[in-house]
């Protein structure tokens, strides 16, 4: 890991770009939880922004041990 990263803010997200809603849909379909996610509160904007973290991985010189949320929930 590179040094002097304390003042940086990093985005932690999936290798497979997913929106927040898509992640919660995966959680609901996984069957790992007794209750189902009903929806987000306090947001007026879209829930479809997809993020990827290639810049974060380059900065910290690392890769996630679990590649996607889909793999994690499987």
**Which parts of 1-74 fold into alpha helices (H)?**
20-30, 54-60, 69-73
Per-residue pLDDT of the chain (74 residues; tens, 9 = 90+): 556 777 777 666 667 777 878 888 888 988 888 989 888 776 666 666 777 777 777 777 777 777 777 777 77
Q: The pTM is what?
A: 0.55
Distance of CA 23 to the CA centre of its chain: 7
pLDDT in the model for residue 20: 79
pLDDT in the model for residue 55: 76
In a domain, 14, yes or no: no
pLDDT in the model for residue 38: 83
In a domain, 40, yes or no: no
Residue 25: its H or E element? helix 20-30
User: What span, in angstroms and rounded, lies between the C-alpha atoms of 16 and 3?
Assistant: 27
Provide the domain count of the chain.
1
In a domain, 59, yes or no: yes
**Burial zone of 4 (CB within 10 Å; 0-12 exposed, 13-18 middle, 19+ buried):** exposed
In a domain, 42, yes or no: no
């Amino acid at each position: 890991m590179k040094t002097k990263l304390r003042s940086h803010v990093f985005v932690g997200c999936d290798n497979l770009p997913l929106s927040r809603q898509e992640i919660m849909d995966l959680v609901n379909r996984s069957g790992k939880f007794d209750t189902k996610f009903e929806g987000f509160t306090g947001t007026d904007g879209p829930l479809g922004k997809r993020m990827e973290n290639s810049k974060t991985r380059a900065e910290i010189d690392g890769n996630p041990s679990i590649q996607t949320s889909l793999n994690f929930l499987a």
